[in-house]
Amino acid sequence: MTYNLTYFRAFTSFCTSSNNPPGAKEGWLSTVVAHTQPDILVCNEVDGSNATAHGRILNFSLNTNGTSRWAATDLYTNGSSLINAVYYDQTKLGLKSQSIISNDLQNTTLVRGIDVIRFYYKDSLLAWNPDTLFFTVFAAHFKAGNTPGDLTERQKACEALMNHLASNPRDDVYLLAGDLNMNKSQESGFQQLLNYSNAG
């Protein structure tokens, strides 16, 4: 499940604790998660200046009312003040590795990094047979907007993602989760995801 939390605990002149109350958001998110029961939650637009917001989601939205199944991945940033925060059901999934795609193909910093998280399924037979399913989740929040520059930034992020896929060892399963801000299927970034020339 993905959820854009819109400046969660990141306060600005236009996004204040009055018009974007973090405590209320924590409660609302807790209600949504309790109802939907996801195994993975990708949150976009979480304050990246420190770990407080990340921890509050874990402790005040997820592991509440006697629930303790949720774990959090590490925080990664490419310099953006808003980051992705990823949580998972640790009774079902284990965290194998984590990294971030920070730059486009010209080695310029992306507007926001793309988190790369590799999980494995905690099969009940793992103690006897260490063969299980591995899968990779890409947590992304592409640039919003309709200007030519916005479209270019989304395309650069998609190219970086697809280049990562083509350049790294492969899993059988990949998930792209987050707020992609794609306005139509003809958009160049969307077409990069569908028709990447080096996908192999």
Element (H, E) at 115: strand 109-121
Domain locations in the chain as residue ranges? 2-194
Residue 198 has pLDDT above 70, yes or no: no
Segment 83-115, tens digit of pLDDT: 999 999 999 999 999 999 999 999 999 999 999
Residue type, 163: N
CA dist 163 to 66, 112, 190, Å? 42, 16, 14
Query: Which range scores top for mean pLDDT: 66-80, 116-130, 150-164?
Result: 150-164
For the CA atoms of 22, 24, 29, 32, the dihedral, rounded to the nearest 10 degrees, stands at -160
Segment 23-62, tens digit of pLDDT: 999 999 999 999 999 999 999 999 988 889 999 999 999 9
Superfamily (CATH H level) for 2-194? Endonuclease/exonuclease/phosphatase (3.60.10.10)
The pair of three-digit structure tokens given for residue 79, joined into one six-digit string:
């310099």
What pLDDT score was predicted for residue 123? 86
- pTM (2 d.p.): 0.93
Q: What is the distance between the alpha carbons of residues 52 and 42, in angstroms, rounded to a whole number?
A: 17
Residue 199 has pLDDT above 80, yes or no: no
Query: What three-state secondary structure class fits 96?
Result: strand
Looking at residues 139-165, what average pLDDT do you find?
96
